[in-house]
Chain A
């Protein structure tokens, strides 16, 4: 028995070493030309090349060691965990959840409410900017966008690759109406949402009959059309120059965040002059918008329209034979999702003070969709976690100065953002193919609620 175990473990080590060396070779082959050799222009403007053996060696060693560790330790550990789970029984209707698990949402909400205050206390107003703005607001915008898209993709099952178009409609609605008519943020926020929702219906009509990949292509084209209009309709949108000097949001029209204004908010409150207070104010606005999105989504799921969305995702023909108006159902899904995109867009415009078509490229749609998929289509908690991991992770990259010590002073970590995004996606999908939170919360109950474990979510046939 022991010898057998030793045998297999030494066999495993040999296998891991072999695979590690193999991975090293592959990395060498793959990166030799891209990393090992670098071209640059010298003083005479000639294109010459030089080698970077050190950097190439780092890539090769990382690949080899990574593969070795995966095969030798990581995979056996995962397998053991799976086996242990299988042994303890398939039905994990766990009534014994930890305190943290049970009150996760409340804890998260309190933490979010205290987050800006905490950062100010720890780092001072100026120091808190980075945490409140770069992390807090940035992540919450994506949470809101992903929750909005979740209604279309996660609930109604309509694959939308052009979601950023509604974000753009919201942002430009605010920018243009505020610049031309001087309307305030609080008037334009709902208006931008309504306008985006209207565009959602406009997109919805032509694609009513489409599903899956065909729908994806048309929505992708729609997103590009909106962007091209923004670029080329220069009389109104000022094209690629964008619109700058967009008005800041006020504290419900009572105080303002313009330093020159007589009722400048920090002064009225007796605070030091700093842009941090405005960012903190924005943080609470986007937090409130996110909470509204979540609340509406949760409520809608329990209402006839939300149920119809989910049924539509599962089987359109069955829906029709059950008396569900599939046309109205799809249009409301597009409109509701677009509306939240529009809210987020107008928030984005007021936060940046500047909008240009640059911000609404296809990549944005892809990132938002990736967050929805990673989070586990339909699960609000999962999507929020995915947004924190993906957006927060890429923001963290900017902070990682030490990487320059490894990769040389020219290394700019932000440029590897997409690479890391992709790697993270692959890893998550390998280990959690249904996303962070793959189980779906049922909405129909007779007596008390019974949690349905993840093992029930696998589809069976026959």
Chain B
């Protein structure tokens, strides 16, 4: 069913108190795609991710997921529509073991698929298997990121939201994580919406991409187009990196 629309963000405006963080954002993600959102620090990327999840909610505009308006749904019900997020800063549970963290990602009321899904994640990230009974807080940054993605995958998501998975990680580890995302997309057909400051890696991986500046989407196109675009190159790729 590739090509069919899965997520549609229409004219969304989000406020923190009186401060407008998003001003009329339109973004679309189709089934089976990897779409990325790049932009400088403070552009509003994380805010868009959180708005999709309903915390904070959009003041105006709509978020439509799988043909259903989820703009006003409480966060935990949005998550149950199988939108899973690996949030900015990973946010794993530090005192729980790796396995318990993964369990929190699964449907807690129905752990029927738990073992099967954990095994899948251990194939994707063998490091997690070695560390399964270690506390989350004692993992390295890269392992924590793998755990955060793994935990999100436990919900068997239709849409995976990743907020800066490369943040603070060594290039080699970033490469490994991006390869895992690619693999999930190609082998499982998982739809991924990726936020990144690491524009080069993100654009290379993505089918399509959006550029966000000050709460607005200023450019969009295929990953290749944006990679070749002189404005994007100047701002985010050559010396423009923060």
* Chain A interface residues toward B at CB < 8 A: 304, 307-308, 310-311, 313-315, 317-326, 440, 442-446, 450, 452, 456-462
Contacts and interface: CB of A to CB of B under 8 A. Distances in A.
Given A314-B94, A314-B95, A459 B76 contact: no
B137 A459 contact: yes
Interface centre among B74, B115, B137, B141, by most A CB within 10 Å? B137
B125 interface: no
B78 to A, nearest CB: 8
Contacts of B115: 446
A223 B102 CA distance: 38
B132 A446 contact: yes
B91 A318 contact: yes
Interface centre among B75, B84, B115, B140, by most A CB within 10 Å? B75
A322 B95 contact: no
Nearest to A451: B133
Contacts of B135: 452, 456-457, 459
B87 A323 contact: no
Interface centre among A308, A326, A445, A458, by most B CB within 10 Å? A445
B47 interface: no
20 contacts: A307-B104, A310-B96, A314-B93, A315-B91, A319-B104, A320-B76, A321-B85, A323-B76, A323-B79, A323-B155, A324-B79, A442-B97, A444-B100, A446-B132, A456-B134, A457-B95, A459-B94, A459-B95, A460-B137, A462-B141
Given A314-B93, A446-B132, A321 B53 contact: yes
B76 A450 contact: no
Contacts of B151: 322
Contact of A460 (B75, B84, B108, B138): B138
Interface centre among A313, A317, A318, A321, by most B CB within 10 Å? A321
Contacts, number: 104
B99 A322 contact: no
Interface centre among B102, B107, B133, by most A CB within 10 Å? B133
A407 B55 CA distance: 63
For the complex of A and B, list the 8 residue pairs with the smallest distance between their C-beta atoms, beginning with the closest: A323-B79, A304-B108, A459-B137, A314-B93, A318-B91, A444-B99, A460-B138, A444-B100
- Report the contact-size class of chain B (Cβ under 8 Å from the partner): 35 or more
Interface string B67-80: 00000001111011
Contacts of A445: 99
A446 to B, nearest CB: 7
A154 to B, nearest CB: 12
Contacts of B44: none
B39 interface: no
Contacts of B53: 320-321
B45 to A, nearest CB: 16
A440 B96 CA distance: 8
Given A324-B104, A452-B133, 19 more contacts: A304-B109, A307-B103, A310-B95, A311-B96, A311-B104, A314-B95, A315-B91, A317-B91, A319-B104, A320-B53, A321-B79, A322-B84, A323-B79, A323-B80, A326-B76, A443-B103, A444-B102, A452-B97, A460-B140
A146 B101 CA distance: 27
A315 B91 CA distance: 7
Contacts of B133: 442, 450, 452
A322 B139 CA distance: 20
Contacts of A310: 93, 95-96
B31 to A, nearest CB: 21
A324 B76 contact: yes
A458 B135 CA distance: 8
B96 A442 contact: yes
Given A304-B109, A459-B94, A459-B95, A322 B138 contact: no
